[in-house]
Amino acid sequence: QVQLVESGGGSVQSGGSLTLSCVVSGYTSSRYCMGWFRQAPGKEREGVAVIDSDGSAESADNVKGRFTISRDNATNTLSLQMSSLKPEDTAMYYCAADSAGFKVYRGRYYNSCSWKRGYTHWGQGTQVTVSS
């Protein structure tokens, strides 16, 4: 059974920094996609950043240059370093994982760790609040 446990959320002032962590258990190899998603009150969940087992990563335009995703396959840990935080970054942040490889999701074909591929496993979430 795959489990994900996030930590590191909290409250910070605008311009501040936070680092989120997520420990994954239950996979028998490191060949899986991982990602961070977030959902603000009244808004749809959005992809923040994703990373493949080889370290190739993609970030959403609204966090590029401010957020850095990384993973340590030896410890099964996913991290998200967030800097220059803005009030609009306030949201519940979720760690997610999905087996790597080809996948069809909602009629579309995916061959990368795109955040649109329908991640299978989710953590419970950690709140990030940025005050102005």
Number of Cβ within a 10 Å radius of residue 117? 23
> Each residue's pLDDT tens digit in the chain (132 positions)?
999 999 999 999 999 999 999 999 999 887 899 999 999 999 999 999 999 999 999 999 999 999 999 999 999 999 999 999 999 999 999 999 999 888 999 999 998 999 999 999 999 999 999 999
**Separation of alpha carbons 78 and 85, rounded Å:** 19
Nearest partner of 4 among 46, 34, 44, judged by Cα:
34
- pLDDT attached to residue 30: 79
In this structure, the strands spanning 67-72 and 121-122 are: unpaired
First to last CA, the chain: 40
- pLDDT attached to residue 50: 97
Give the list of residues 6+ apart from residue 94 with CB closer than 8 angstroms, or none: 6, 36, 37, 38, 39, 45, 122, 123, 125
